[in-house]
Structure 1
């Protein structure tokens, strides 16, 4: 490949040079090279810094004429061309030539842009947020080997050096809409999997989750472990706290490991089961456990604190312990959370 580039750089005939440029990129496309290899070959051919940038990632690949990553600060582009896929501009290619643009520079960039579009179409990232569920399952499955996982991530459009966050979602809203909202301007893919939606993202913004969405966000770097964490965090969500990061659960995540039969046999959890028949009492207890204060719970419920106090006194009798004591508050909070985890 380098030998061909050297010969092309010494051609005198512009027509023959143009044919050779076309043949050069046809060869690269037949070899199914990726974007970094395409940039390296083009930089050697052009004998100047060559760049490729995709709008979906915002990251630029810049390679100098020796085929290595360019270490110099970016210079103004001497020639540019748009990468177009399905009649949509998805990126840009350019040359940073310090001298006058060469006679074949425009042709070369046209071919480079076509080759880059072919790479994107073959390996990703695709323009849509919705992804093939089979690929997503390969990424998050504990049965996948690392090679298969890496290939699936590449096909989905995620760069190898970027960590991928896994989010488990339950919502009536379209998954692609949620994905675009919580991860604007960055790679994000979504797919339904069994009873839960899966979103793969490089970064997420908790404040952008729309109302009505329940979401658990994994913390681990490994996607399969992050998926398990995301499913666990989703189980802890409530109407009051609909989006939860697994990392924020801390020791509470251990409650998800308790066998359900064991949890049901616990006297405090059994008392919460009985209390659940009265939604008003359950809401009062939830507000008190969330705030740890009678007056703040009253503010949250829009009630007078004396009314909340009477309710808590009655709830304490049902539970069998004093709620206003520190140990009582801890017991109630653990029992309430454990009850919510029953049956998912």
Structure 2
């Protein structure tokens, strides 16, 4: 029995219950993330801080912004993963696996090592967009050649990721003075997020929202082959291009905010399909909620595991995502005999 048939057994009641459960989990994670840390706060203190009480500075200026950034970036990475997996027709595709995160990281590291510190606030986002956009151009160019051969696209993304990783290492070796700062960014973390970061990320994702809605309306059709889509009046290559471009835009915004966090875009779509199936109207919002919850949990775990020190959220996500990717690879190998 195929994964699609097995996951399609989810009933509307199960889907509603799952979405409600994920919403409750996110609310609990918000309170836990605001309350736990080097300075623990009781639930009453958290509420008072949200309302402007004695702990308002810790709550509103330090912890709440990083919670919002984790929520928004995690959701963006998850939706990006859904779109990329649909575009390349490979369950292993995600922003980090197909090279988007690595390309963005290369652009950021080059900016960090070549630009004066006073200009980093402009140079790093620009480098991320250029790096991620370069990967998008490569994937789209290959898509025009191989058409619906998603496995080829995924392998091209892996090759691009390897090249970008090599470029990152070279840039850090060539500019060792900036290596420490680059390493912190590449590890992936929401540490130091500010209200300005929340606003910028929210504005960016709001600009991407029309593209996401456009792609969601065509996501179900992408499950069919190119010939079938053409018979229905749909241009498959155009859809694929829209999916890739939108995924790049979402992941670039997330990478600017949180650095090179991986596996969120891989884990969230898979978990969402297991719960609500493949239909876009359920899959997209559920994956977004799961991505947000996963990154919020990774940040929270990184803060409380080694108090008073912090483990970057990207490392926690990699510890969880690495074994899951290995399981998927084994399943894919068995599925192909």
TM-score, length basis structure 1: 0.18
**Greater fraction of residues in helix:** 2
Bigger Cα Rg: 1
**Greater fraction of residues in strand:** 1
